[in-house]
C-alpha cells in the first residue's frame, strides 16, 4: 500500500440530500415522458432526459465511494461481494418488471406496442443488459427502451470495479488513479465529439456505452476528490466554491431547457458539461453538513420519491402507455398513469426491494464481506 493511502481513512456514509437529488432526476425523466399523454409538454423542459445523466453521475459517485471505503477498511476490494451487492440491489425489481411485462404485455399495452416488445429479441437484450447496443443499432424497442441506461450502468460496474481492483493491486497512488480517471474522461469526450463531427448517427451517440460512460466516470472522479480529499475541504466550503456551484447550476439548468436529445450540438461537449454541473452540486452537498438547499432536498416526501426512484424509472412509461389506451380524458390519463407508477413502485420497494436489501446484509455477513452503508441507488 503506497504511503499516501495510509495517511487517512475513507469516511463515507449515507447523505440524505442525495436522495432528494435522485428524486429530482426521476421526476425530470417522468415529466419528459409525459409527452406521450400531453403532446407539447416536453418543450417546457426539452432536456428532461438528462435526468438519466444525473442518475449516471450519482451512481458513479456512490459506487466508487463504497468501494473506496471498503478498501480503506480492509485493504482489499472483494469483487464477489461487490457483484453480489449489485445483483441483489438491482436484479430482483428489474426481473419482476420484465416478467410482468412478458406475461401481461398484451393486457397492459395496445396491440401495436405489445407486438414491439415481443419482437427483435427485445426481452433478451433487456435481460442480458445489452439493450443500449441493440437500440443504438436501430432496433425498435418500445416500452423496453428505457432499459438502455440500466445496461450501461451494469456494464460500467463490471469494468470500473476491475479497474480499481487492478489499480490498487499495482499500488497506484491516489493522485495517479484520479489523474488516470480524468484523462479517460477527456479521451471519451473528445472521441464522442470527433464521431459527432464525422456524422455518426444520433442513436449511436446517445445509446452507446463508450459515448455515455463519461457521465458515470465524472461521478467516480467526484468520489475520488471527496473521499481522498484531493481538494482541501476548506476550499470546498469557501464562498468561491459557492459561486462556482451556483454558476454550474445555472449552466446545467440552461442545458435542460435548451437541448433535445436529437440536437447534434449536445454531443460536442454539452452532455459532459451537464454532468460536471451535477458533479459540482454533489461535491457541494457532501462537503457541507447543512444549508437551506440541504433542508429542501431532505424534505421527507422528496427523499421518499428518491428511495422509490428505481421502481418509478422502471414502471412509469408502461403505465403512461396503459393510461393512454385505457381512458380518453387527458387529465385522467395523467393521474392514472402517475398513480399506477407510484403504486407499483411502492409495492416493489416495500415488499421486494427492502426485503432483498435485508437479505443482502445477511448474505454479506455470511460470506464475511462487510456490507457498505449506502442509500438505494437506481
Q: Which of 210, 60, 195, 187 is nearest to 133 (CA)?
A: 210
Q: Mean pLDDT over residues 35-64, rounded?
A: 96
pLDDT score recorded for residue 73: 87
| pLDDT exceeds cutoff 90 at 359 | no
Please give the Cα distance from 140 to 297 (Å, whole number): 37
Cell 415481443 sits at which residue? 118
Confidence of residue 373 (pLDDT cuts 50, 70, 90): very low
**Nine-digit cell at 286?**
457532501
Q: Render pLDDT for 302-350 as a digit per residue (tens, 0 to 9).
A: 999 999 999 999 999 999 999 999 999 999 999 999 999 999 999 999 9
Percentage with pLDDT > 70 across the chain: 93
Q: Mean pLDDT over residues 9-33, rounded?
A: 92
Q: Mean pLDDT over residues 297-305, rounded?
A: 97
Q: Which of 16, 2, 1, 5 is nearest to 297 (CA)?
A: 16
CA dihedral 30, 33, 37, 41 (to 10 degrees): 90
pLDDT score recorded for residue 7: 52
Please give the Cα distance from 74 to 85 (Å, whole number): 17
Please give the Cα distance from 374 to 201 (Å, whole number): 38
Q: Which of 281, 287, 293 is nearest to 248 (CA)?
A: 281
72-87 burial, b if ≥16 CB within 10 A, otherwise e?
beeeebbeebbebbbe
CB neighbour list of residue 47: distance below 8 Å, 6 or more residues apart = 255, 256, 257, 258, 259, 260, 261, 274
CB neighbour list of residue 11: distance below 8 Å, 6 or more residues apart = 69, 227
Percentage with pLDDT > 90 across the chain: 84
CA–CA distances in Å: residue 280 to residues 48, 212, 223 = 19, 18, 11
Please give the Cα distance from 49 to 260 (Å, whole number): 8
pLDDT score recorded for residue 366: 58
**Nine-digit cell at 103?**
406475461
**Nine-digit cell at 334?**
395523467
Q: Render pLDDT for 64-100 as a digit per residue (tens, 0 to 9).
A: 999 999 998 888 889 988 998 899 999 999 999 999 9
* 3-class DSSP assignment, residue 31: helix
pLDDT score recorded for residue 266: 97
| pLDDT exceeds cutoff 90 at 265 | yes
Task: Count the alpha carbons within 13 Å of 81 in the hemisphere toward its beta carbon.
Answer: 22
* 3-class DSSP assignment, residue 329: coil
Amino acid at each position: 500500500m503506497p504511503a499516501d493511502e495510509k495517511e487517512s481513512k475513507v469516511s463515507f456514509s449515507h447523505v440524505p440530500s442525495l436522495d432528494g437529488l435522485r428524486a429530482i432526476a426521476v421526476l425530470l425523466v417522468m415529466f419528459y415522458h409525459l409527452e406521450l399523454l400531453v403532446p407539447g409538454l416536453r418543450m417546457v423542459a426539452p432536456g428532461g432526459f438528462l435526468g438519466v445523466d444525473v442518475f449516471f453521475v450519482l451512481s458513479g459517485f456512490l459506487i466508487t465511494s463504497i468501494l473506496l471505503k471498503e478498501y480503506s477498511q480492509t485493504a482489499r476490494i472483494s469483487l464477489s461481494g461487490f457483484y453480489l451487492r449489485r445483483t441483489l440491489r438491482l436484479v430482483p425489481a428489474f426481473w419482476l418488471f420484465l416478467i410482468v411485462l412478458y406475461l401481461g404485455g398484451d393486457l397492459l399495452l395496445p396491440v401495436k406496442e405489445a407486438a414491439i416488445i415481443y419482437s427483435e429479441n427485445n426481452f433478451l437484450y433487456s435481460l442480458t443488459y445489452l439493450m443500449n447496443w441493440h437500440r443504438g443499432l436501430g432496433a425498435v424497442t418500445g416500452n423496453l427502451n428505457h432499459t438502455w441506461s440500466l445496461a450501461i450502468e451494469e456494464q460500467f460496474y463490471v469494468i470500473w470495479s476491475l479497474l480499481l481492483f487492478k489499480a490498487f493491486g499495482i499500488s497506484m497512488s491516489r493522485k495517479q488513479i484520479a489523474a488516470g480517471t480524468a484523462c479517460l474522461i477527456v479521451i471519451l469526450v473528445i472521441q464522442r465529439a470527433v464521431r459527432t463531427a464525422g456524422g455518426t448517427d444520433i442513436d449511436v451517440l446517445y445509446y452507446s456505452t463508450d459515448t455515455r460512460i463519461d457521465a458515470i466516470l465524472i461521478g467516480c472522479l467526484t468520489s475520488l476528490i471527496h473521499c481522498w480529499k484531493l481538494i482541501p475541504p476548506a476550499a470546498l466550503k469557501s464562498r468561491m466554491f459557492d459561486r462556482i456551484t451556483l454558476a454550474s447550476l445555472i449552466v446545467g439548468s440552461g442545458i435542460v431547457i435548451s437541448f433535445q436529445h436529437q440536437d447534434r450540438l449536445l454531443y460536442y461537449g454539452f452532455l459532459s458539461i451537464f454532468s460536471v454541473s451535477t458533479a459540482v452540486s454533489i461535491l457541494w452537498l457532501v462537503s457541507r453538513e447543512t444549508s437551506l438547499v440541504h433542508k429542501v432536498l431532505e424534505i421527507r416526501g422528496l427523499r421518499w420519491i428518491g428511495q422509490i426512484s428505481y421502481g418509478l424509472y422502471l414502471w412509469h412509461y408502461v403505465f403512461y402507455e396503459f393510461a393512454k389506451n385505457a381512458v380518453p380524458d387527458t387529465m385522467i390519463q395523467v393521474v392514472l398513469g402517475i398513480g399506477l407508477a407510484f403504486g407499483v413502485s411502492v409495492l416493489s420497494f416495500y415488499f421486494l426491494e427492502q426485503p432483498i436489501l435485508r437479505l443482502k446484509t445477511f448474505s454479506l455477513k455470511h460470506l464475511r464481506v462487510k456490507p457498505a452503508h449506502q442509500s438505494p441507488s437506481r
